Amino acid sequence: MQKKIAVILGDGIGPEVTQQSIKVLDAVSRQFNHQFFYEYGLMGAMAIDKTGNSLPDETLEVCHRSDAILSGATAHPRYDNPSAHVSPEHGLLKLRKELGLFANIRPITSYAPLHHLSPLKSNRIEGVDFIIFRELTGGIYFGKKHLNEDQTQASDDCVYQKDEIARIAHLAFSYAKRRKKVLTLVDKANVLETSRLWRKVVQEIAAQYPDVTVNYLFVNNAAMQIIINPKQFDVILTENMFGDIISDEAGVITGSIGLLPSASVGNKRALFEPVHGSYPQAAGKNIANPNGSILSAAMMLDHFGLSEEAELVREAVMWNLANGFVTKDIDPINNYSTATIGDLISDYVENRIPSRMNKENMVISKSTII
Ligand code: IPM
Ligand code: MG
């Protein structure tokens, strides 16, 4: 298979973790006889520095002519000025809108070797496995914004069209159908008109998926349930702002945000990026966890229909975790570098039986704090 992949390296640790994904994708292409072609584009703080624009037209073109986009986090504190008209975040929001990436998909999976890192007790997170579908191109993020002249009143409109709700609802139902067949709509239908529309549209669509059980949960209750009993969820469907908040909340319960992948998909385009931020303090230090990016690349392989390849990459990540080949965020005492984790996963993909991977001959790339 031949695929064109647009790569946005991003800011902070973005470049070094994304490079590990490319390493792993190259191992996949050698092992399974595929050809992946990479074309690079700038976005975020790096793009502002070089072009004055957080999403240059050239990057958009690169993305438009690709089969998928692999991205690192884009943000940097030097642009953390809320009144600035150019910011790395603007670039990301514009990219989502321009490419029509209406659904953000975040799987939340608990990994047994990381249970001790979770803020929740192990018995609450064992077996947690759900997916959040967050609407990504509508709602309060993209509604009309207003600030009055004397800057004493501001508003952000939250608008949803029936079609915008229906398209992501169908996607979420189609996943639920293939999973545990439970879909939870998270809204605030006791207060918000937009939420009432979401409920109505989801109720209508539910009739087309009779084998899927639908639950409705107010967002404040959902925030509690994710902590109290995260195992109850299978597929969560929600609007843009609520999705931003609960997906970060859900992201921390499994132990490490450094491990979480995401996909943002539209009808024609799809972008894959880790959930974590750009962590500028760690940039260039070779200590960042590349697994979130590598698992995002695995989601990209699934998107290409390469499920065996995707499964092998996930198996490799699991093998590393189970055998203690982890970065500093997971084990502050015995840890391995970003690049070493990328090498180990690539090796696993190509050689399956990781005979030469044992802790004893890994000392060179291991950093031990004594
Ligand atoms: C995310 C981020 C973005 C969002 C920011 C960076 C604009 O938090 O991808 O979840 O709020 O959508
Ligand atoms: Mg967010």
pLDDT tens for the chain, 370 residues long, are 999 999 999 999 999 999 999 999 999 999 999 999 999 999 999 999 999 999 999 999 999 999 999 999 998 888 887 777 788 888 999 999 999 999 999 999 999 999 999 999 999 999 999 999 999 999 999 999 999 999 999 999 999 999 999 999 999 999 999 999 999 999 999 999 999 999 999 999 999 999 999 999 999 999 999 999 999 999 999 999 999 999 999 999 998 899 999 999 999 999 999 999 999 999 999 999 999 999 999 999 999 999 999 999 999 999 999 999 999 999 999 999 999 999 999 999 999 765 555 555 554 455 543 3
Radius of gyration of the chain measured on its C-alpha atoms = 21
Residue type for 318, please?
M
- Residue 361 C-alpha to ligand 1 middle, in angstroms? 40
Residue 77 has a pLDDT of 85
The pLDDT value recorded for residue 86 is 83
Coil, helix or strand at residue 129 = strand
Q: Is 244 in the pocket of ligand 1 (CB under 6 A)?
A: yes
Please calculate the CA angle 172-297-26 and round it to the nearest 5 degrees. 150
Ligand 1 center–CA 360 separation, angstroms: 41
Residue 121 DSSP symbol: -
Cβ of residue 92 lying under 6 Å from some atom of ligand 1? yes
Residue 369's pLDDT is what?
A: 39
Burial class (CB in 10 A: 0-12, 13-18, 19+), 178: exposed
For ligand 1, the distance from its centroid to the CA atom of residue 367, given in whole angstroms, is: 33
Q: Helices 14-32 and 291-303, interaxial angle, to 10°?
A: 40
Separation between Cα atoms, residue 219 and residue 229, nearest integer Å: 15
For ligand 1, say whether the CB of 89 is within 6 Å of any of its atoms: yes
pLDDT of residue 363: 47
Query: What does pLDDT average to over the chain?
Result: 94
Question: What pLDDT is attached to residue 364?
Answer: 46
At 368 the pLDDT is 43
- Closest ligand 1 atom, residue 136 Cα: 12
Q: Which residues pair with 108 in a beta bridge?
A: 130
Q: Can you tell me the distance from the alpha carbon of 258 to that of 252, in angstroms, rounded to the nearest whole number?
A: 9
Residues in Cβ contact with 309 at an 8 Å cutoff, skipping those fewer than 6 apart? 28, 31, 32, 34, 301
Is residue 356 left, alpha or beta, with left meaning phi > 0 and alpha meaning psi from -120 to 50?
Answer: alpha
> What are the chain's domains?
1-103+257-370 (3.40.718.10), 119-254 (3.40.718.10)
